[in-house]
Amino acid sequence: MSAAALLQGDLFAAAEALRRHEVTAVELTTASLAALQEHGPALNAVVELWDEDALARAERIDAERQSGAALGPLAGVPLAHKDMFYRHGKRCASGSTVRRDHVPKVTASVIERLDRAGAIDLGRLNMVEFALGLTGHNDITGHPKNPWDTDHITGGSSSGPAAAIAARLVFAALGSDTGGSIRVPAACVGITGLKPTYGRVSRAGALPLSHSLDHVGPLARSARDLALLLEVIAGADPRDPTAVDRPVPPFVQLLQRPLGGMRLAVAEAPFELPLSAEVAGLFDRAVERLSGLDVETTRLTLPPLEPLNALRRVIMLAEVATRHEDFVREQRAAYNAYTLARLEPGFAVAATAYLRAVTWRAEALRRFCDEVFTGADVLVTPALAEPIPRLDAAGSADTAAYVRLVNSMGHFICPFNYLGLPALTLPIGLTENGLPMAMQLVGPPFAEARLLRLAHRLEREADFRLGPPPFPAADHA
């Protein structure tokens, strides 16, 4: 199979082809760079490519493979990441003008781990300014566009990575998720995205937004790819005291374990935020497809999510405002209006409100797990309540319409940042406008293997996976 044809598939298959000498790292890297150069600009997905460095690393890996050297599980696989993961000596602007000349002196721990596994880093992908926004809008770098219909949003803040993966320009990417910034864009473009348990993956060397809520995780085209990437990046890290010292399971191997009557609690209507009729129909049909697997399903009325969303907003607003206070005072005009619309309310958050939200978190987690996971292994929820909106649907960033849209898009997603629970989104079909729709799988703490195993079976046996979007990815097949 040619490198360009492999690029249409998933990361796992490409890694296997490399190990079997069916393709070289140089061929695969060249194909991905060509796709990013040709189609990345139309999607506003790419910030900067490191062509020479990437091809030189690919040549070294090919030479090592020919010599019989032991190589890592991702040896020769090209990836590109959200423009917020530091690499020593390489510019990292984080979707902003404020940090457009920032050149870090450290490399993010997750990037170092991918390097050790043999992955090839192609460069920086576009994102929402400072990772603050769920729609994907960025007036500074250009709004990334959805490859299913470029008049629609990608979701954010991992917007460029989501667009590039869905359009078959790159296999996978790392993103961050403070309030849905992995899962929402994955849902909007028809790929898979995983927010691990808080502390499962180190955040050292990744742009901080809200230290109590930030998570790092992978976006890819399959649960198997997510499993492989998580196996590489997870684990304790002396550079991040919040990274939990807990054994990392063999996530890929565990995909083959039978479901064995796994108990699913399926969220049922009425919801606090009602689903549109179209989304409700897709979600109900997806739930029906669960019956073909070896699982037990029960219906569950969700615990109230809005209080959890409100508590998360208090924490995020206070922590983001604290981090950006000096920048806003000195360089306010350099900020995107969408970012300011989200950031400025944080300056008015009372310390007492912030401390209540932080201290209530452990009790909220205990209560939620008691109510949901005492009788279930996985919670199944909608991902979004409405079809994917158009880029122009949010209105001006200084109006309440934008904030309402963001809060609506995060309703089913954001509570699990506050609770720190692992959560995964995967596609369930297309709405009438030809845009993807998704559902969400949520587990108790450190149940990533369970979520990945279920998602893998859903993809394989229940058609929970979309093909390429209409964007002209086929041109480089």
Catalytic positions are 82, 157, 181
Question: Both tokens of residue 316?
Answer: 């995020």
Residues in the chain: 477
The C-alpha angle 186, 357, 422, rounded to 5 degrees, equals 30
Report the alpha-carbon distance of residue 96 to residue 115 in Å, rounded: 26
Report the alpha-carbon distance of residue 27 to residue 4 in Å, rounded: 9
Task: Provide the 10 A C-beta neighbour count for residue 200.
Answer: 25
Report the alpha-carbon distance of residue 461 to residue 441 in Å, rounded: 17
Question: Both tokens of residue 148?
Answer: 């299913």
> What backbone phi and psi angles, to 5 degrees, belong to 27?
-65, -45
List, in order, residues 6 or more apart from 383 with CB less than 8 Å away.
183, 184, 187, 412, 413, 425, 437, 438, 439, 440
Report the alpha-carbon distance of residue 7 to residue 11 in Å, rounded: 8
Pairing of strands 192-195, 262-267: unpaired
Question: Both tokens of residue 242?
Answer: 């919040």
Report the alpha-carbon distance of residue 105 to residue 173 in Å, rounded: 22
Report the alpha-carbon distance of residue 218 to residue 416 in Å, rounded: 16
**Residues 430/436, Cβ–Cβ less than 8 Å:** yes
What's the Cα-to-Cα distance from 362 to each of 385, 422, 447, rounded to whole Å?
A: 28, 15, 18
CA 129 to chain centre: 16
Beta partners for residue 46, in sequence order:
125
